[in-house]
Amino acid sequence: MAKVDVLLGLQWGDEGKGKIVDVLAPKYDVVARFQGGPNAGHTLEFDGIKHVLHQIPSGIFREKTKNIIGNGVVLDPVIFKREIESLNKFNLNVLENLYISKKASLIIPTHRLLDQAYENAKGESKIGSTLKGIGPTYQDKIGRQGLRVGDILSDTFRDKFRHLTEIHFAILKNLELNFNWAELEAQFLDAVTFLKQFKLVESEYLINHELQEGSSILAEGAQGSLLDIDFGSYPFVTSSNTVTAGACTGLGVAPRHIGEVYGIFKAYSTRVGSGPFPTELQNEEGELMRKQGNEFGSTTGRPRRCGWIDIPSLKYSIMINGVTQLLMMKADVLSVFPTIKVCTKYQLKDGSITSALPYELVNEKITPVYENLKGWNVPITGNSLNDLPEELSQYIDFLEDELQVPITLISTGPDRLQTILRPLSVV
């Protein structure tokens, strides 16, 4: 039987998942999202056009690929409609190629309001949520009172919707927030009608059938492992399991059917929103990284925090996910630095040195222990391994040696074509 390969971020999101799913999609019959929702912003670039996808899997531009929004996803019909409409001009066959799980959770407008109200109430300790209603929607799912995509087909959907909004209004009453409910409700109900024309399916059957038929399947992660609800820097995390195991529960795929696990990471680190970030550079170097890497959120436009690569956290993510291949993104961004720093260990408050991620990440200061490598300091041109500057090859070898997983792809720019494959090796 075929396997489900999983591609996911090893850092705090925005590693470049969208680009690589698009690059790999021609090799796959199916691309499936398994968690998260419109908090994701996955960028794809080709033929001089840049696309940012939030709800729709990144295989959508490949004509022969089936795209699935799995049961583990939270879906906002309003954002979904907007996204589909923005794709109209590209003549994609979305009604044919896109399948949506009836078991995916529905984000309703009051979830977005609650997200905002909870963040306001947190004040200084706010998470920095994308305010797309992700947390409140997963809360309702776990609290067993949420709505699912399949519910929109029921005659009683409006009653169920109104019932849930009443529950939310009772909470919102105590939290100061201004909104125009009539407008939000009308927009939502219109988007729900729009959603009905799509293939709403039991995607766990679809995906297991595809597996039996020998189809190749790629599961597309959203966010990153360090934002995982269990293993991330809690409470500064998202509300889903972003790790490999999430692909099993978020698609209905048994663990023994998981094949390759592609762990994607930037040649440095970024984070958007609050929370611990041991290697963060709050200086000109960080600003230079942000400028060179155009590090502004794909979903919210917020500036991303930037810093050097962090080996202990990458090792942790590799362990939790069972990564079999590493994909390194945005090496080109580091071309401006004469010296490249690599955090290989952490020094804790008591002076001890560790390469493990400590439990107390939020309240206790962690000092990174760096090794300095010589930078390549020239722009990266060309599209083959031989074109890479010697110092960049040394950087790749150094990381591979530390992480003990082969780095099989190097991305040197945002376009599909700026991608170099590397034969499997661990130096």
Point out which residues bind ligand GDP (CB under 6 A).
Answer: 9, 13-19, 41-43, 45, 293, 298, 329-330, 332-333, 411-414
Nearer residue to Mg ion within complex by CB, 14 or 400? 14
Shortest Å, Cβ 346 to ligand IMO: 21
Q: What is the number of other CB atoms lying within 10 angstroms of the CB of residue 367?
A: 14
**Long-range CB contact pairs, 156-162, < 8 A, 24+:** 157/192, 158/189, 161/108
**13 is an interface residue for ligand IMO by CB under 6 A:** yes
**129 is an interface residue for ligand IMO by CB under 6 A:** yes
Q: Which residues pair with 75 in a beta bridge?
A: 106
16 binds, among Mg ion, ligand IMO, ligand GDP, none (CB under 5 to 8 A by kind): ligand GDP
- The residue whose Cβ lies closest to ligand GDP is 43
Q: How many CA atoms lie within 13 A of 93 on its CB side?
A: 7
Q: Which residues pair with 413 in a beta bridge?
A: none
Judge residue 418's burial from the number of C-beta atoms within 10 Å of its C-beta, 0-12 exposed, 13-18 middle, 19 or more buried: middle
Q: How far apart are CA 427 and CA 372, in angstroms?
A: 19
**112 is an interface residue for ligand IMO by CB under 6 A:** no
Shortest Å, Cβ 224 to ligand GDP: 8
Amino acid residing at 359 = Y
Tokens 């990564």 correspond to 323
Shortest Å, Cβ 211 to Mg ion: 28
35 binds, among Mg ion, ligand IMO, ligand GDP, none (CB under 5 to 8 A by kind): none
Shortest Å, Cβ 404 to ligand GDP: 23
Tokens coding 42:
């996955």
Catalytic residues: 14, 42
Shortest Å, Cβ 409 to ligand IMO: 18
What phi and psi, each to the nearest 5 degrees, are found at residue 50? -110, 130
Q: How far apart are the first and last CA of the chain?
A: 32
Tokens coding 78:
């309003």
Tokens coding 179:
């909104």
- Judged by CB under 6 A, the chain residues 230 through 289 that form the site for ligand IMO are 238, 272-273
Binding mask 42-81 for ligand IMO (x = CB under 6 A): x---------------------------------------
Report the interface residues with Mg ion, using CB under 5 A: 14, 41, 298
* Chain residues that interact with ligand IMO, rule: CB under 6 A: 9, 12-14, 39-42, 127-130, 132, 134-135, 222-224, 227, 238, 272-273, 298
